[in-house]
Structure 1
Amino acid sequence: MKATNHLLEVSEYNEAGYSPVIDFQSWRVAILNYIDELETDKIDNFQCHNETDEVFVLLSGKCILFCAEVDKENNIADIACWNMEPNRAYNIKRGVFHTHTLSADGKVLIIENSDTSDFNSPKIMIDNTVRNKLGQLASSLWG
């Protein structure tokens, strides 16, 4: 939903998944809501942004950010994770491979460059071994 007049633009997004809600010049604000493809047993890749940092702010529910160390062959060598706390800004630095999982009531605000896309955001596809590791990490944080 978007409401606009000459003084103010108000946007929201309440469907499953990701959607930009405001773009202005070089920046974008988006909302990420729970979507089942981000369950740890369904995540199929880690992505990085070659040209920009990306900021995440937890608005409601729960979200875990996963960041991967990548070896010379572009394989995931190690994974760090953070259980996001509401109202804190988490800045994923440019070039860091990352993914996330959300609780069913999870909602995350994302701030990124407006030209962030698959063109400048390579992915590393993951296998069941890495997916299992994500599940173990999530279980250790959420029980």
Structure 2
Amino acid sequence: MNIQAFEYSAEGMNRVYENEKWLVGIKNWKPANDITSIDCLERHNETDELFVLIAGKCELVYANETSNGLHFEVVKMEPFKVYNIPATLWHNTITEKDTKLVLIEDSSTSLENTDIFKLSNQQIQQIRKCVNIE
């Protein structure tokens, strides 16, 4: 038996380790996660998701549903802290080039139990305002 090591350096996310209970992925910057291109939020309906920033900059944008629609908030991630996204919370990552995150989630998380919400132009502007980009 040997110790295994995993890495990923291309754009976007790749599941680098997975077993029957959980998975670990590496998520790097990609154009869709840039503040100039963000157009959706997602939520995992059955499972939490954990993020750890290991390089670069990342803001976690999230939204709670209210009677007036979605209410957006942003958390500026700090390196090496663990951030939990609870199941059913709308969220996305806003990253810059050279950003690298580790994500950990239940191995059952998939598109079958995940919703994608397409943002309107007005909602994108609200998010940019939260991130101080206008």
Same fold, TM exceeding 0.5? yes
Give aligned pairs, total.
Answer: 134
Contact 1:58 1:86 in 2 (8 A): yes
- Unmatched tracts of structure 2, length 5 or more: none
Give runs of ≥4 in structure 1 deviating > 6 Å: none
What amino acid is aligned across from residue 92 of structure 2 in structure 1?
T
Are the equivalent residues in 1 in contact too, given 2:35–2:95 (CA < 8 A)? no
| Pairs within 5 Å for 1:1-143 | 6-71=1-66, 76-139=69-132
2:132 alignment partner, SS class: helix
The answer to whether the 8 Å contact 1:49/1:121 transfers is: yes
In 2: Cα distance, 1:122 partner to 1:45 partner: 10
- Aligned residue type for 1:97: W
Structure 2 distance, partners of 1:8, 1:38, is: 33
The TM-score normalised by the length of structure 1 is 0.87
Indicate the percent of aligned positions where both proteins have the same amino acid.
31
The whole-number CA distance in structure 2 between the counterparts of 1:46 and 1:71 is 16
- Gapped runs of 5+ residues in structure 1? 1-5
Report if aligned partners of 1:65, 1:83 keep a CA contact under 8 Å in 2: yes
Give the TM-score, by structure 2 length: 0.93
1:123–1:71 CA distance, 2 compared to 1 (3 A):
farther
Distance 2:28 2:14 in 1: 9
What RMSD, in angstroms, separates the aligned Cα atoms of the two structures? 1.7
Q: Is the 8 A contact 1:69 1:77 kept in 2?
A: yes
Q: Give secondary structure in 2 for the equivalent of 1:59.
A: strand
Q: What SS is found at the alignment partner of 1:21? A: strand
Instruction: Give the Cα–Cα distance (whole angstroms) in 1 for the partners of residues 36 and 80 of structure 2.
Output: 27
